[in-house]
Amino acid sequence: MVYWSRMKLRSIRSVSVRGKRVLVRAELNVARNASGRITDDSRLKAVVPTIAWLRSHGARVVIATHLGRPDGKVVKAMSTKTLTRPLSSALRTPVQFVDQSVGPKAETASAALKNGEVLLLENVRFNPGEEKDDASFSHALSLLADIFVLECFGTAHRKHASVVGVGRYLPSYAGFRFEEEVTVLSKVLEHPKRPLVIILGGAKISTKITLIGSILKRADALLLGGALANTILKAKGMQIGASLNEPDMIRLVRVLNLTDTSLHIPVDVMVSAPGSKPHVRAVGGVQHRESILDIGPDTVELFARIIKSAKTIVWNGPMGKFEQRPFDRGTTQIAKVVGRSRAYTVVGGGETVDALERVHALKKVDFVSTGGGAMIEFLEGKHLPGVELVRDYR
């Protein structure tokens, strides 16, 4: 049986929380610009239903989360204190803040909470024990609560103290959004409306090769773009010039059924070379000094035709060097086609979401996963530590 088949989780709905301190590991690593302003508040909104339910049922809510990658050091610009105002607005209630994630001050603040009140802890990644799943840090977090709720699917593939370690000391349950992520991603591969079209992009095929092999057996069409497609082109013996690729993955790529009729790779590409303007090349015609940085117009047309026939779409990863114009064209054009589709659509990954937002199509998507890497690992059947923590095997 496939890992995600008929999966059930222990829901927070199944336990009484009145008067209990509930530690919620939330996914609040929101996108921000250079000045620190939040540019995408979808992760804030995603945690609202669980916290609102906990408050309405008399829980005393303690929120743990991370922001950025401080690598176990205190970085003022990554303090979660900056989240208190937007989080208060989203929850429509004041959110208290304590400048520790563990320790006496955090314990005092947690103990002082009244039913329905909310406390936000300082960035858990300021503590070097977080990413090491350190037992002492996990235990210190557990002293802040009576119950643990996992509401961070985007970090569920990480074996961190605040994701799984604390669960060794407290009864653990899944939050509403966490449950929804697992349910949607399970059903979309187990019982999809067909044709099922999967679109995968991004830089590294090494992070998605297992998924590609699995998807080829389940999808009606698999569309590949981005630098990961370069490695496949090279494995098929085509010239890719100076393009980004993973030579170490060539042998593994050749194990895949590259002649499978459901597999679709670029037929033309947008290239760039020193001293010349970006231009289109047919696949196989890429010159020695040229780098493939986007899919070409014929590929967009081919992919669009396949997407239009879909009844279910799953998309993760850009089609090119999305952060640099004009190499964002392939991704944004695919985003427009996906936005116009009437298929049930699931997307994940920051750049994918950004592309849909740019063409005002994000609201037309049925489900936006809060996980990028976690979404990929779950779909390929890997056992995610966070999911295992709250999985109900009964």
Q: Is 122 left (phi over 0), alpha (psi -120 to 50) or beta?
A: beta
The torsion angles phi and psi of 124, rounded to 5 degrees, stand at -65, -25
Cα–Cα distance list, 135 to 128, 141, 142, 160, 162 (Å):
12, 10, 10, 10, 10
Residue of 20, 43, 177, 208 with catalytic role: 43
End-to-end CA distance of the chain: 16
DSSP state of 380: T
CB-based contact 225:244 (threshold 8 Å): no
- Annotated catalytic residue 311: no
Using alpha carbons, select from 178, 165, 133 the residue that is nearest to residue 43.
178
Largest Cα–Cα separation, the chain? 68
- Annotated catalytic residue 43: yes
Cα–Cα distance list, 318 to 98, 202, 237, 263, 385 (Å):
38, 5, 24, 17, 27
Residue of 373, 381, 382, 391 with catalytic role: 373
- Annotated catalytic residue 204: yes
The sheet carrying 312-316 orders its strands as 263-264, 221-224, 196-200, 312-316, 344-348, 367-368
Residue of 8, 204, 218, 236 with catalytic role: 204
DSSP state of 296: -
Residues 275 and 284: their CA atoms lie apart, in Å, by: 21
The torsion angles phi and psi of 10, rounded to 5 degrees, stand at -80, 115
- Which residues are CB-contacts of 68 (< 8 A; sequence separation ≥ 6)? 29, 75, 77, 78, 123, 125
DSSP state of 11: B
The sheet carrying 60-64 orders its strands as 95-98, 118-121, 60-64, 21-26, 147-151, 172-174
- Annotated catalytic residue 201: no
Catalytic residues: 43, 204, 350, 373
